[in-house]
Structure 1
Amino acid sequence: MAVPDYKLSAVLCGHSLDVRCVAKTKEFCILSASRDRTAKLWHPEGVKDFVNVVTYKGHRNFVSCVCWLPPCEAYPDGLVVTGSNDNTILGYNLQDGATQVTLEGHENAVCSVTPGRDSGILLSSSWDSTARVWNINAARNAPLILKGHQAAVWAAVELFSGSYATASADKTIKLWKKDGSIITTLTGHTDCVRDIAVASNETFLSCSNDASIKLWTNLGQCLNTFYGHSNYIYSISMNPAVANGFASCGEDGSVRLWAGGDCVRDIRLPVHSVWSITCLDNGDIVTGSSDGVVRVFTKDPARYADENTLKLFEEEVVKMQAASQQEIGGFKLSELPGPEVLLEPGKADGQTKLVRRGTNVKCYSWSAAENTWNEIGDVMGAPPTQEGKTMFQGKEYDFVFSVDIKDGAPPIKLPFNKNEDPWVAAQAFIHKHELPQVYLDQVANFIISNAKLDSQPVSSNGFADPFTGESRYVPGSGAATGGRAPPAGADPFTGAAAYTTSSTSTASSDKMLIPHDAYIRFDQANLKAIFDKLKEFNSKVGDGLNAMTEEQLESVVKLGELNNTYNNETISILKKMLGWPKEILFPVLDVTRLAVRNKEINAQIFDTAYGPSFIKYLLSLLAPDNLPANQMLAMRVLVNAFSDLPGEMLVLAARESLLHSIICFTQLNTNAQIAATSLLLNLSVALAQQPDSVELADCLVQLFSKITDNEAYFRGLVALGTLLMESPSKLQIQTRVVSNPQLHNRLKKDSGITTDPNYAKIATLSQQIIRLL
């Protein structure tokens, strides 16, 4: 069947972050929900324009979904309903945006809201692995809970048969009776099932991360499977303009129009992700995407956008497609396989594959032990190199050295640019390859020698802090203070010296300290002191908790040695000890922050079973009424969680709560200040290029008024400078800084301090930030 040619009709700008969901309401109005914590109502004006007439506010986190609930007994005018990552559902008056209903009960982010077939019935689904059926006419009654999935429930709808259908990240679809009992479980998709759409009185459609769409009967029989997308499919909507037609969208940045089981149109958008799609009653198609824009496409030439708008849209699409033609390791991006290739098992342990994800490329490695592909990281594009430069992992370097670390093992590549600090490069190299810290001096001097840099003196103990240029603590050598009393910044438990901002001759006023592009962590420790303290506190364990044997304590402390072997029983013991009373908890937290540097331990502590509850526990330790030592060490654990992907992902997922906790601190001692700014620095490295980095900048600006320690201040400035250089919302961040007189004046003052050598790096960094403002 022929499908009319669709062209861009309108571009609706107003959201500041991703538009995660679009929906329709009466009179061809559009609803949109965004990560900017708002939903909006767009009313048609004239032939093809839309105007934002109402903005719905009230959620404390991202608004992930929106729908229109038609008039019912309790709300004769109907409701605009939104779900959020704050775990709540809100219902608003359509016209004035006043909040009418608040529904609570989900234990994690709400990811879909959909009206049922009966008046006043609302279905919701959540990351808490459940769907719920609410009766808005009797909102105080407890909802019906559909519980049985093993992972997030991405969508829930009511079929014409009267049963409910739910789609889950556990790769299944479940059909439910009205009483909440399971009818059947549908399998067939090989990855997360993201959305469901009722297709007819007898059938429904599902779409999945496996890049397929399936047609099912209401009884659960799969009638057909449709292929057309090259990546995850996020949303699907029936198209009333085409008999049995529907539209879909996904991670390949496209909208696909379907008729008779065939993909008959492909509309490309200039975005990475098209998150949501809905079809209006007049056949127009509405999308919400990762660039924060709502777009309307139409088949009616009378509603086509003007020539200039169409031309600009086409140019943006061409630019995006050109980016997809970039070469990665000799392959065009468009020639690389999509995520469906990961459905096939690897042929050998350690085998790697490059996988196209939109206009991004990710590298995966096959783990024979886990029988799965593990994501290693992003692969950057490789434009032509400048003369004299060497390309390594998508970036240009002045040098790429081959370093022999172990006899019989292949050399490891060490990239370096002349404008880098050799100590920073050496420390990054050590962290990346999990080498002993004692290699720092050798690696740094290797760089200095082979790059033929001017001789750079090292500090008195032969080592330099790669972050500040000052003396560092060397594991096994005790405090770096040479027998003196620990400095004010010393760890109150281990006595190890803290970082300081004092300048040495390695500092250069011309060196750019920002942006920072590697995670930092807390490596210093006195394991003997930790062991002694654990033995002392072990004798005080009460309230039904079993004390540990000395042998068990020794095995737990050894988890703090980065390359030490361990067994799973020791991890279990550590988890039990994390349940010790808070008054004696801090040495256990100290072991934990050392242990999570290990890749395998990081994976166990931050796995999907234990990790989320552990993160919540750490957040509880940040409460203002908790012990300062617990607050400080909980933040150090969170800093070191970035040592590997599982910890990094869980910390990033909890960043809203983390930022809130840090803002709520009223008074912080020196070590806690350093821990807090270190955590914010790691967050800035992770989020610098994300639009929602503004919230992180807000936290930094507020925290600066409570910072008295120079080292903590320095780390905070590095975090702020990184955001100012790399954030797509840098103009908003600049406004935050400039509109804060206390911080702005302090930056101006510090940038002029040139006579105090102990303040050199703060002065240099302040000058760099002032230039960015």
Structure 2
Amino acid sequence: MASSNTYKLRCSIPGHEMDVRGLTAALFPEGAFVSVSRDRTGRVWEPNASPDRAFTERHCMSGHSNFVSCVCIIPPSEIYPRGLIATGGNDNNICVFSLDKPEPIFILQGHKNTVCTLSSGKFGTLLSGSWDTTAKVWHNEKCMMTLQGHSAAVWAVVIFPEQGLMLSGSADKTIRLWKAGRCEKTFTGHEDCVRGLAVINNNEFFSCSNDTSIRRWLLTGECVQVYYSHTNYIYSLAVFPNCEDIVVGARYHRSIRAHEEIISLITFPFWHNNFHIVPFTHSDGIIRVFTEAEDRVASAEDIQAFEDELSKATIDPKTGDLGDIKVEDLPGREHLDEPGNRDGQTRLIKDGEKVEAYQWSVSDGRWIKIGDVVGGSNQQTSKSVIYEGKEYDYVFTIDVNEGGPSMKLPYNVSDDPWLTAHNFLQKNDLSPMFLDQVANFIIENTKGHVLGQATPAGMDPFTGGARYIPGSSDNGPDLGADPFTGGGAYSSAALRQISTNIYFPKTDGVTFEQANSTQIIAKIKELNNNAPQEHRLSEDILECLERLLVSVCAPNTEPPPNMQQINSLWKASHWPEDIVFPVLDILRLAVRHPQVNECLCGEAEGIQLCNHLLSMMRPEGRPANQMLALRTLCNCFSGRHGRSLLMAQRESVLSRAADLASVSNKNIHIALATLVLNYAACLYNHADLEAKAQCLSVASRALETVQDKEAVFRLLVALGTTVASDQTARDLALSLGVNSQISKYSSVSDPAKVGECCQLVLKELQ
């Protein structure tokens, strides 16, 4: 049930020179909070010890070159026991401050447009959302991941406290759920941009939108309830400590609501809050703090002064959701003698030539003036309008301030209305408080104009036969072999007698060595005989492939490969995708040889090889090619040139490889896990946290779908190697929820190495 108490004004806090854009509770001292403003500053406020119910400015923070739009607190750490303050601004940057210093201790750069929302998680993780349509995950001073998928500005982000899950809400009307950098689910239902998100518990969250609704969602995707108690844009919402009641801030509704019941009417238009004492802000730069504690309520004089100031506000009937107004039909001031029917009810009256808006307050038993209603903006539209030498679908005339000069706003239907509004306000040096008003004006007046629509077991799994199996040895597939040497399986029971951790860190690469040369060549010749004439390999190329295969499989007894053989291999590797797999098997084996590794992975040819293998790894590609391309990449790590190539191409290689986690093929999963492990081995003792973050992300993503225990084991070794001796990587793994994700493997006894390795990784993460 909602609280029955009423929130009343506690105090008004002057200090900022322009409108306040964000507020959040500070961790120290008790009762303090942080505000950020369009005046480019942030300020820390602490409650006075005296009984005047006010707050004192602790210090002013500066660092942004343009207005500051959002703020959040990063939890305490050993280095910063009082936590940190992160602010996002219109300069596209995030400034991070300690509680006691006015200058930022570091600045996070990477977004390409305004940073408009921030959320913090455990272990120093920070999540940001921006007008550039992305969200970014930061740790310390680096961007660990960029979350891409939204098609419009990201207005809201939040981190779930336990599971390593993240949410983002966007002007594209969707909410996305992210796990380890991957979009796990998209929530649809809102009919306008999503403005706020709030976590209820580990399985549920609220969202609010410009469509005037609040929705309650399950993480599984279901919307379990929709609240329509507001009649205009809802900017934000917060959940009370009881995890049930919510407070909501909406344009022109001017109330605090707990679910559908209004618990207090506060006649003020904007809401920027994340804690249970409710501050409201306005363009005058004054922060108003509201309280339900009777002993903290402001004096009657202060409350009256506040209401007098509110009554001077102006309301646009279009954005104020007041509908079409005919002044001659409105009642006079006597209409205010009749009580309202419900808290928050709006009533318009005529006072001479003016129209005034009032709302009913149940707690006060009276109508409170909330502003004067002024005429809405006029529009002037036509097709193919020329403005400043360019052709536009629309050119609107915007009157932002009554009596001020009008301004022209050009717009094409292919443009993003929110970005257009943002740029318009910047160009004309207007307050961002008009952002929603301008953007929704565009949307309302261009409705109807849309763009074009977007566009068996035991059998050879690759040919349908039961003969050649890519990657297998003369003794059959390498399943069950020592995953790091290719030799016979070892006894975990014997290994348990060793007191040291023999699983990780792994510092050398793992390769796929097994081969059946006779069957590989026989398969190539068979496919070549049946291939169309234009795709048949010459006898010279076939001979070169055979000699090359012998050379790389017996490097100590055969002459090294020559350039003719290597060139023949490269040419043959571009065979049609339905028959190229045995050539890829030779390529897998060949890149282990020093001469081949240097030639194919060198500075000139390496990118071509990498791109070719990535093309074979497309999710819609053939499983044989996917597996062999992954194994070839793993084997490239055996040479210096291959390692340099793959480290340089890490981001694209691991991103494409991660897409194969959803393929139901255990051999592909083992190859994918091995690739992640090889990257982790190369990164051990390196301070490249961004690269380690990608390894953690791909490993976490793969563990969501991989079932094969050998693949799980290699992923566990990769995780252990990544976090070993690296506190920052460990904290990042914890923030991604890796510990809870892998805990189910700690009791696995068949094979025992899985359970043992898992226990060691969990110990490392403690």
**TM-score for both structures, normalised by structure 1:** 0.44
**TM-score for both structures, normalised by structure 2:** 0.45
Larger radius of gyration: 2
